[in-house]
């Protein structure tokens, strides 16, 4: 694991570094922290080093060559799993760009040292927690929509539904629904829990609450319903 | 030519493609629709042949009934007519194909084989016609063209069919002319009616569109005037503030001055500054209707709602994308603003137009904890506080589908997120 800090203001960089070092000593973690001044330094560094789980604290205003957002996009190309935290003034703040374009973990607004210290510590805690979670190897479903990739934990997936036009699939999860272009064929094999219950439905078996044999419907654990054909009831949910 | 049972047989056969066509239109059937279509089917098989002995009238009544049934499910006259002519066409084409010498050589020319063969072809033609229709309808005059071509062919088939039939029966030239005339008038009339109806619908949607555009622009103007008025008011207040400060300085009442600053000057300037800064992003929106919609919704936000607006680069949509986009944007913003207004302490509304190789509109807002799952919010008629919030979400989803956009709706960690991907698969 590695932590990168990119801030061209020397005093501020020192301030952040102290907070990070203090946090690491307190939690008895030994993680290398690299201070880098310019975007070029970071980019050459990550090109030479093998990729590993890393956390980046990036200032948005990094001088004339490249701003923090452009740098973050470059970092993303090298390591899609890199965790990025932006340090930004109120004027530069663009929360949705951070979240949806860079998939940044968080952002810290420049303010008093105390507030910032708290925010930095929060980010570090989240980062180390995520690393632990990744180690437990929770399965994810991946939606590739053009340039973005969206990871959805398989245990949150209820079912996929096909619309009769185009090739839009709707993924229903515990939190809502996502639409994307795809086919059942591409998805079916991605988890042993996925079962095709109907021409237009692919269900995550682990989240089924009950099978309504009369109405030919499946009720999911949040109460939402989808279709199942008679033949598939016999195949997947035989009467005991 | 044929034994009498054939007439019933022919009418039973009518039902099959008619169900196939219907089933291929809708994946989910309501009980009401199924029973209605069954009833219609019985009328076609049993009642119509009984009352209208003449096959000409029989065919026309069947045609009318089918149009009515499809009109009920499709809600559009032109679509109903296209489906009806598809049903007829597939039957005619199927029976002609089944009678080709290739097949009669292959099969014994018995009644059953012919029947089965016809069924297969009917299903086949129905599916093919549906595909062709779906492709055709994308063009500007596609619908009208389909109706015209469909009806013309139908007319031609019916006339030749009746020629043959009557030739065998009576060989009376006069009757044939009359029948041809009736058919011709019937389909001509129907085609004209459909074309006129289509035109009327097009005109009314166009008018509606223009009215919406006009209303949006007018709102924008009104808002600009409002802003000018507020600036004048601010100027006036500013004078007053200076005068009061003058008085505080004069009396050297610095504590009171500080209190006055905190209570009056600071909040006012904070709000003015924040709102204008965020709304200044709107300069990147080039289309006036979208700009005025965003301006109208966002400038009227409660003071307790904080706003963040990000527009990555100048926005310019084609008119085709713009019209549904404006309607969907309106719904998404209304949803977000309503959810925020239900929060006692307010919250943040974040709006972003992000561009990669297509645009994404993201609307994110804080919302109350313990909201029901999205699918329940979306169900038509659901309301948090008596308003038709659910209807909005449903409409947005339908609009987005019709235009090939992708809409994602999630509620997670007390954040309500709506993402619209604009551009479709191109």
| Each residue's pLDDT tens digit, B210-222 | 887 787 777 777 7
Q: List Cα–Cα distances, B79 to B64, B191, B252, B421, in angstroms.
A: 14, 12, 81, 29
Distance from CA of B9 to the nearest CA of A (A): 31
Q: Which residues of B touch A180 (CB under 8 A)?
A: 406
B209 touches chain A (CB under 8 A): no
| pLDDT for position B204 | 85
Residue for token digits 């009831």?
A: A233
pLDDT at B34: 72
Nearest CA in chain B to A174: B373
Mean pLDDT of A70-90: 85
Q: What is the pLDDT of residues B342-370, one digit of tens each?
A: 888 888 999 999 988 889 999 999 988 88
What is chain B's alpha carbon radius of gyration, rounded to the nearest angstrom?
A: 32
What average pLDDT does this structure show over A138-155? 77
0.90 cut: is pTM over it? no
Using the Cβ of A173 and the Cβ atoms of chain B, whether some distance falls under 8 Å is answered with yes
The answer, for B137 touching chain A at a CB cutoff of 8 Å, is no
What are the pLDDT digits (tens) for B370-391?
Answer: 888 888 877 755 555 444 445 5
Q: Do B376 and A223 count as a contact with CB atoms less than 8 A apart?
A: yes
Closest A-chain CA to B423? A146
Q: What is the mean pLDDT of residues B141-165?
A: 72
**Mutation target among A149, A176, A226 for the B interface, most CBs of B within 10 A:** A176
Which of A72, A92, A96 best probes binding to B when mutated, by most B CB atoms within 10 angstroms? A96
Q: Do B356 and A181 touch (CB under 8 A)?
A: no
What ipTM goes with this model?
Answer: 0.80
Whether residue A51 contacts residue A79, with contact meaning beta carbons closer than 8 Å, is answered with: yes
- Rounded average pLDDT over A18-26: 91
Q: What is the pLDDT of residue A204?
A: 93
- Cβ contact, residue pair B351, A101, below 8 Å: no
Q: Which of A91, A94, A177 sits opposite B310 (nearest CB)?
A: A94
Q: Quick one: closest CA in A to B131, which residue?
A: A165
Position B7 confidence tier, pLDDT thresholds 50, 70, 90 = low
Element housing B410 (H / E)? strand B406-412
- Is the pLDDT reported for residue B55 higher than 70? no
**B180-208 mean pLDDT:** 78
Q: A94 and chain B: CB distance < 8 Å anywhere?
A: yes
Query: Band of the pLDDT at B417, cuts 50, 70, 90?
Result: very high
Judge whether B308 is closer than 8 Å to chain A, CB to CB.
yes
Q: For residue B284, what pLDDT is reported? A: 87
Residues in chain B within 8 Å Cβ distance of A168: 401, 406
Please tell me chain B's helix, strand, coil percentages from 3-state DSSP, rounded to the nearest 5. 70, 10, 20
Q: Quick one: pLDDT at residue B425?
A: 42
pLDDT value for A194: 92
Tell me whether residues B354 and A97 touch, CB distance under 8 A. yes
**Which of A109-123, B69-83, B169-183, B226-240 comes out lowest in average pLDDT?**
B169-183
Residue A16: is its pLDDT beyond 60? yes
Contact A181 B406 (CB under 8 A): yes
Interface check for A215 against chain B (CB to CB < 8 A): the answer is no
Residue A176's region, left for phi above 0, alpha for psi from -120 to 50, else beta, is left
Q: Which of residues 4-23 of A touch B (CB under 8 A)?
A: none
Environment class of residue A165 by beta-carbon count within 10 Å: exposed (0-12), middle (13-18) or buried (19+)?
exposed
Sort out which chain A residues have CB atoms less than 8 A from B393's CB and list them. none
Measured distance CA(B315)–CA(B321) in Å, rounded: 12
Find the closest chain B residue to A146 by CA distance. B357
* Closest by Cβ to B406, choosing from A147, A168, A199: A168
Which residues 396-415 of chain B have a CB within 8 Å of chain A?
Answer: 400-401, 404, 406-412
What is the average pLDDT value for chain B, to the nearest integer?
75
pLDDT digits (tens, 9 = 90+) for B294-334: 887 887 788 788 888 999 889 888 877 888 898 899 999 98
Pair of tokens at residue A196: 């095709």
Residue-averaged pLDDT of chain A: 85
CA–CA gap between residue A85 and residue A127 (Å, rounded): 10
Query: Tokens representing A188?
Result: 């079916």
Rounded Cα gap, residues B362 and B408, in angstroms: 9
Q: Does A209 touch chain B (CB under 8 A)?
A: no
Half-sphere exposure of A121 (CA within 13 A, CB side): 14
Taking CB atoms within 8 Å and a gap of at least 24, the contacts of B276-282 are B277/A91, B278/B307, B278/B308, B278/B309, B279/B309, B281/B309, B281/B310, B281/B311, B282/B309, B282/B311
Which range among B34-48, B166-180, B196-210, B273-287 shows the weakest confidence by mean pLDDT?
B166-180
Inter-chain CB proximity B408 and A174 less than 8 Å: no
Query: A26-68 pLDDT, tens per residue?
Result: 888 888 888 877 788 888 887 877 677 889 999 888 777 788 8
Which residues in chain B have their CB less than 8 angstroms from residue A91's CB? 277
Q: Which residue of B has its CA nearest to A170?
A: B408
Cβ–Cβ gap B374/A177 under 8 Å? yes
pLDDT of B18 > 80? The answer is: no
What distance in Å separates residue B352's CA from the closest CA in chain A?
A: 6
Interface contact B350-A164, CB threshold 8 A: no
> What pLDDT, in 10s, does the model give residues A135-145?
666 788 888 76
Contacts of B338 (CB under 8 A, 6+ apart): B384, B387, B389
pLDDT in tens, B251-265: 888 888 888 888 877
- In three-state secondary structure terms, B283 is helix
Question: Which residues from A are below 8 Å from B409, CB to CB?
Answer: 176-177
Among the partner-chain residues A91, A100, A179, the one whose CB lies closest to the CB of B406 is: A179
Q: How many CA atoms lie within 13 A of B15 on its CB side?
A: 14
CB contact under 8 A, A176 and B308: no
Mean pLDDT over B142-160 rounds to: 75
| Strands of chain A, DSSP E | 2-6, 32-36, 54-59, 83-88, 106-109, 140-145, 148-153, 157-162, 168-173, 176-181, 194-198, 201-204, 208-212, 217-220, 225-227
pLDDT-derived band of residue A220, with 50, 70 and 90 as boundaries?
very high
- Compute the count of residue pairs across chains A and B with CB atoms less than 8 Å apart: 84
pLDDT one-digit tens code per residue, B288-302: 788 888 887 887 788
């Amino acid at each position: 694991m590695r932590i990168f800090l990119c801030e061209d203001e020397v005093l501020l960089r020192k301030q952040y570094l102290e907070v990070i070092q203090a946090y690491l000593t307190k939690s008895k973690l030994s993680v290398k922290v690299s201070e880098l001044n310019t975007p070029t330094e970071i980019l050459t560094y990550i090109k030479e080093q093998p990729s590993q789980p890393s956390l980046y604290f990036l200032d948005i205003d990094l001088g004339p060559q490249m701003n923090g957002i452009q740098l973050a996009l470059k970092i993303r190309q090298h390591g899609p799993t890199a965790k990025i935290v932006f340090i930004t003034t109120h004027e530069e703040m663009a929360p949705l760009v951070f979240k949806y374009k860079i998939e940044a973990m968080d952002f810290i607004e420049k303010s008093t040292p105390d507030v910032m210290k708290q925010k930095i510590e929060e980010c570090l805690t989240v980062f180390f927690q995520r690393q632990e979670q990744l180690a437990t190897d929770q399965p994810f479903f991946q939606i590739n929509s053009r340039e973005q990739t969206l990871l959805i934990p398989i245990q949150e997936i209820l079912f996929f539904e096909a619309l009769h036009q185009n090739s839009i699939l709707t993924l229903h999860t515990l939190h809502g629904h996502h639409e994307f272009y795809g086919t059942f064929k591409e998805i079916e094999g991605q988890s042993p829990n996925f079962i095709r219950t109907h021409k237009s439905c692919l269900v995550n078996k682990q989240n089924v609450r009950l099978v309504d044999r009369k109405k030919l419907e499946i009720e999911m654990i949040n109460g939402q319903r989808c279709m199942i054909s008679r033949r598939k009831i016999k195949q997947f949910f035989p009467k005991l | 030519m044929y034994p009498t049972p054939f007439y019933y047989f022919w009418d039973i056969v009518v039902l099959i493609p008619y169900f196939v066509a219907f089933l291929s239109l809708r994946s989910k059937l309501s009980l009401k629709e199924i029973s209605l279509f069954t009833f219609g089917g019985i009328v076609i098989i049993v009642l119509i042949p009984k009352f209208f002995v003449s096959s000409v009238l029989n065919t026309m009544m069947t045609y009318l009934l089918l149009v009515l049934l499809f009109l009920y499910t499709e809600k559009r006259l032109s679509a109903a007519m296209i489906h009806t002519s598809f049903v007829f066409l597939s039957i005619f084409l199927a029976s002609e194909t089944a009678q080709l010498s290739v097949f009669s050589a292959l099969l014994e020319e018995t009644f059953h084989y012919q029947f089965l063969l016809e069924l297969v072809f009917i299903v086949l033609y129905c599916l093919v016609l549906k595909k062709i229709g779906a492709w055709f309808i994308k063009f500007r005059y596609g619908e009208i063209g389909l109706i015209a071509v469909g009806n013309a062919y139908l007319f031609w088939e019916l006339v030749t069919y009746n020629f043959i039939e009557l030739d065998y029966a009576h060989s009376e030239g006069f009757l044939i002319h009359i029948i041809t005339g009736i058919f011709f008038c019937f389909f001509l009339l129907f085609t004209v009616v459909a074309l006129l109806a289509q035109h009327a619908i097009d005109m009314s949607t166009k008018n509606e569109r223009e009215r919406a555009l006009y209303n949006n622009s007018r709102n924008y103007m009104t808002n600009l005037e409002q802003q000018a008025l507020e600036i004048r008011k601010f100027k006036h207040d500013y004078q007053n503030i200076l005068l009061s400060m003058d008085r505080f300085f004069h009396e050297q009442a610095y504590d009171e001055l500080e209190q006055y600053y905190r209570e009056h000057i600071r909040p006012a300037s904070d709000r003015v500054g924040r709102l204008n800064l965020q709304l200044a992003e709107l300069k990147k929106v080039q289309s006036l209707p979208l700009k005025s919609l965003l301006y109208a919704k966002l400038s009227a936000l409660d003071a307790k709602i904080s706003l963040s607006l990000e527009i990555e680069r100048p926005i310019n949509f084609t008119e085709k994308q713009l019209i549904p986009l404006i309607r969907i944007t309106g719904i998404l913003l209304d949803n977000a603003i309503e959810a925020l207004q239900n929060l006692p302490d307010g919250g943040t509304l974040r709006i972003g137009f992000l561009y990669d190789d297509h645009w994404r509109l993201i609307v994110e807002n804080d919302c109350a904890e313990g909201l029901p799952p999205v699918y329940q919010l979306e169900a038509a008629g659901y309301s948090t506080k008596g308003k038709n919030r659910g209807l909005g979400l449903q409409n947005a989803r339908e609009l987005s589908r019709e235009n090939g956009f992708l809409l994602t709706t999630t509620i997670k960690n007390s954040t309500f997120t709506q993402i619209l991907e604009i551009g479709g698969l191109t």
